[in-house]
Amino acid sequence: MSDLAIEATDVWKSYKLGDTKVDALRGLSLQLKYGELAALVGASGSGKSTLLNLLGALDKPDRGSIAINNRQVEAMSDEELGQLRNRKIGFIFQAFHLIPVLKTRENVALPLQLFDELSSKDRKMRVESALEKVGLLDFADSMPTRLSGGQRQRVAIARALVTEPDLILADEPTANLDSKTAHAIIDLLEELNSKQKASFLISSHDEKLIGRVKRVLRIQDGTIV
Amino acid sequence: MKRFFWLLRLASLNLLRNSKRNLITGIALASSFSGILLFTGYVVWVEKYLRANTVFVNQSGHLLISRPNGLEDQLTKPRTALLKKDEQEKIEAMLKGDADVLAVGKGLQSMMMIIKDCRSRGVIAIGRDEGIDRLSLGQPDVLKWDYELLKPEQIPVLAKFRQVSPKEAAVFPSPILQKFIDRKTSSKQAGCEESANGSLQLLGRTTTGEVAATDGRALGTQSTGLAILDERVIYMPVKDLQTFIETDSVGYYTVYVKSLLALPSVWKRLHEDVKASGLDLQIQPFFSENVGLYYIGSVGFLGTIAAFFVLLVSSVVGLSLFSLFSMSVTERSMEIGLLAALGFPAKIVIWLFEIEAVLLCLLSLGTGLLVAIGLGDLIFKQNIRFSPPGIAGDTHFTIAWEPWVMVVIGLTFLLVSYVSIRIVTVLKLKRSALSLLQDAGTL
């Protein structure tokens, strides 16, 4: 078993934009070790989101191979992909994607609904631990609409952490936040990376923030440069 | 189970989230349901009214045993159509001891003229079994639905009359014929003297073709409940009619079962016994055209209309829900995408929306049920009199509830709602989690 959380080899992905075929990824290869934190940087339309969607098992490549946790994504059924996303991957979305009718703790607990083996007590402990890590334990019973943008993103991060995944993918997690809050979120992600065993891949086009990350993967025209 | 309660909670919260739209949909659903319940409640009342009327008030029984075509032929060919004494004994022996049989009655019909002073009118005299009258007065269905038709005070009146006037025939004309009897005679008509109130003469033929005539007395009115029969029917005790037409034969036997559920088995047993006995008899239920023409015609017609309306309204409800949930599911594309992205299998996401639809439907159906029952009660208390087509005189407008009918209608609504939301969500979930996440929504 290799020490790679992600291994993407010669990945191609295209999609249609009207009548035009757009090659979003062109033979991209990438490796990310367990516990590593890397930033994925590129201009708008460079293929960052397409790559994150493939690495997050939300989509399949047209060509090439992607292994997450040493398992080939392209060979998996929809059910297996769902299990992989639920157990091994944590997502942090640019738009937070919190369910407005659920309290903070319920939003964080959302992926744990599929963890039948966990008791209610264990779930509660995991949720509170995740909220404590992101500094929102006091807001556990708040509704998302009562939270600021930065707090909402912290809830989304707690939701990504709560399943204790091997890989956390963050798609422009600071894009909707002001500069101060964005820095705080990156600090938090760095801190979590140092404490957790999980690998982090954060996409961003904010050069200032990227400057703080040790490994930067630059993507241009569908390949890593 | 834990997951079900979680989905139930999320579904309830989502219903509250779009409260205005869901409230309007709920009101539309509830009012459609209560409207359909009220309409079918009227049809149910018609069915109960006409069933009790056919079986007990008009004494056709749940099953009627006669010679083939005997019900019609007894009026024109009484000599061959009536059941002789030995046949009566055999029929009674067949029915004796049957645990499902509540009672057995006898019936007889004959054509005659009633003569009041110088006026006469052709009528059909129907012989009533006094035992069945007494039984009918204790039947819940009669007391509840046809309470305006049976008159318990007539039984003691008849008994008292028998003691003082054994030679007169007791007659219970319909209200229409009673008016004919009560009408004053013009004094200018030669030889027409006004007779005492209620007294009249009966003129007919015996079963052997001789002229039969006797004095009679109208002891009270007895409506058939049906307009077409009230024009030409008088009731008499079956014994009085037998005496008048000089016979110990009867036209038919009526069988009353303890429970409608037992009717098929009693019918079958009787059929087998008749076949084994070699008697040439016909056994007809109250819902056959020969016995309960008005019952089967009215209930069949109204039942068809009710079924049509249930299907029509539930289709409209289904389309409305389809439209509502299409909008709701589209608005929540990102939420569906999120759940899919977090690894939720499609079936759980579908359950969530199904539970929402079923919950909305159940709440609406519950409200619609309460509204319908409340309105039905209010209508009853208003004591609205109306004349339904074919019914003699007017009657109390009543809505009747039949639990299984309500359950069938409710389940139809529920099924339509379920199918609507199922189609919407399954179509939606054909899209990938990624495309759903990228969809414009309300998250």
Residue B279: its pLDDT value, please?
Answer: 92
Q: Is B434 on the interface with A (CB under 8 A)?
A: yes
Q: What residues pair up with B122 in beta bridges, in sequence order?
A: B113
Within 8 A of A84 by CB-CB distance, chain B residues are 343
Q: Based on the number of CB atoms within 10 Å of its own CB, is B67 exposed (0-12), middle (13-18) or buried (19 or more)?
A: buried
Residue B442: its pLDDT value, please?
Answer: 43
pLDDT, tens digit, 9 for 90 and up, residues A44-90: 888 888 899 999 988 889 999 999 988 898 888 888 999 999 999 99
Within 8 A of A111 by CB-CB distance, chain B residues are 342-343
ipTM field: 0.91
Please calculate the CA angle B248-B252-B253 and round it to the nearest 5 degrees.
100
Assigned token pair, B94:
């067949």
* Contact criterion met (CB < 8 Å) for A98 and B3: no
Q: Is B343 on the interface with A (CB under 8 A)?
A: yes
CA–CA separation, A149 vs B75, rounded Å?
93
A58 vs B335, B341, B443: nearest CB: B341
Secondary element (H or E) of residue B280: none
Q: What is the mean pLDDT of residues A22-44?
A: 89
Q: Is B8 on the interface with A (CB under 8 A)?
A: no
Q: What residues pair up with B66 in beta bridges, in sequence order?
A: B282
* Contact criterion met (CB < 8 Å) for A86 and B335: no
CB within 8 Å of A198: residues ≥ 6 apart: A5, A35, A90, A161, A164, A165, A166, A167, A168, A192
Alpha helices in A89-142 (DSSP H): 104-109, 120-133
Within 8 A of B437 by CB-CB distance, chain A residues are 58, 93, 97
Within 8 A of B5 by CB-CB distance, chain A residues are none
CB < 8 Å from A in window 11-40 of B: 13-14, 16-17
Number of A:B CB contacts under 8 A?
59
Mutation target for A interface from B12, B16, B328, B338: give the one with most A CBs within 10 A. Answer: B338
Q: What residues pair up with A16 in beta bridges, in sequence order?
A: A21
Residue B443: its pLDDT value, please?
Answer: 38
b/e sequence B312-348, b meaning 16+ C-beta within 10 Å: ebbeebbebbbebbbebbebbbbbbbbbbbbbbbbeb
CB within 8 Å of A14: residues ≥ 6 apart: A21, A22, A23, A24, A25, A62
Q: B20 CA to chain A: closest CA distance, Å?
A: 16
CA–CA separation, B364 vs B352, rounded Å?
18
β-pairing, A215-220 vs A223-224, is antiparallel
Among all residues of chain B, which has the CA nearest to that of A87? B343
CA–CA separation, B321 vs B329, rounded Å?
12
CB within 8 Å of B357: residues ≥ 6 apart: B321, B325, B417, B418, B420, B421
Put the strands of the sheet holding A89-92 in their side by side order: A89-92, A167-171, A199-204, A37-41, A215-220, A223-224
Within 8 A of B334 by CB-CB distance, chain A residues are 95, 97
Q: Is B356 on the interface with A (CB under 8 A)?
A: no
* Contact criterion met (CB < 8 Å) for B344 and A113: yes
B6 vs A56, A101, A113: nearest CB: A113
Mutation target for B interface from A17, A52, A53, A168: give the one with most B CBs within 10 A. Answer: A53
Please calculate the CA angle A205-A211-A214 and round it to the nearest 5 degrees.
110
Domain boundaries, chain B: 2-52+296-438, 61-288
Q: What residues pair up with B199 in beta bridges, in sequence order?
A: B217
Assigned token pair, A121:
């007590």
Within 8 A of A113 by CB-CB distance, chain B residues are 3, 6, 344
Among all residues of chain B, which has the CA nearest to that of A81? B343
Assigned token pair, B372:
């319908």
CA–CA separation, A105 vs A80, rounded Å?
27
CB within 8 Å of B211: residues ≥ 6 apart: B203, B204, B205
Residue B424: its pLDDT value, please?
Answer: 86
Query: What's chain A's length in residues?
Result: 225
Which chain A residues have any C-beta within 8 angstroms of a chain B C-beta?
Answer: 53, 56, 58-59, 79, 82-87, 91, 93, 95, 97-102, 110-111, 113-114, 116, 120
User: Closest Cα to residue A193, out of A31, A35, A34?
Assistant: A35
**Widest Cα–Cα separation across chain B:** 105
Assigned token pair, B347:
């079936």
Residue A96: its pLDDT value, please?
Answer: 85
Q: B14 CA to chain A: closest CA distance, Å?
A: 7
For A184, A196, B137, B145, the CA distances from B140, given in Å and listed in that order, are 79, 77, 8, 8
Mutation target for A interface from B2, B4, B333, B342: give the one with most A CBs within 10 A. Answer: B342
Secondary element (H or E) of residue A214: none
Q: Is B359 on the interface with A (CB under 8 A)?
A: no
pLDDT per residue rounded down to tens, chain B (443 residues): 778 888 999 889 888 887 888 898 899 999 999 999 999 999 999 999 999 999 998 899 999 999 999 988 999 888 889 999 999 999 999 999 899 999 999 999 999 999 988 888 999 999 999 999 899 988 998 888 888 887 777 777 888 887 777 778 999 999 899 888 888 766 566 666 667 677 889 999 998 889 999 999 999 888 888 888 888 999 999 999 999 999 999 999 999 999 999 999 999 999 999 999 999 999 999 999 999 988 999 999 999 999 999 889 888 888 887 888 888 888 888 888 899 999 999 889 899 989 988 999 999 999 999 999 999 999 999 999 988 888 888 888 889 999 999 999 999 989 988 888 888 888 888 887 888 887 755 43
Alpha helices in B252-401 (DSSP H): 263-277, 293-331, 333-341, 346-381
Q: How many CB atoms lie within 10 A of CB B354?
A: 19
- Are B94 and B281 contacting, i.e. CB atoms less than 8 angstroms apart? no
Within 8 A of B10 by CB-CB distance, chain A residues are 99, 101-102
Q: B341 CA to chain A: closest CA distance, Å?
A: 7
Structural Rg of chain B based on CA atoms: 31
Residue B166: its pLDDT value, please?
Answer: 72
* Contact criterion met (CB < 8 Å) for A99 and B344: no
Model pTM above 0.90: no
Among all residues of chain B, which has the CA nearest to that of A80? B343
* Contact criterion met (CB < 8 Å) for B13 and A101: yes
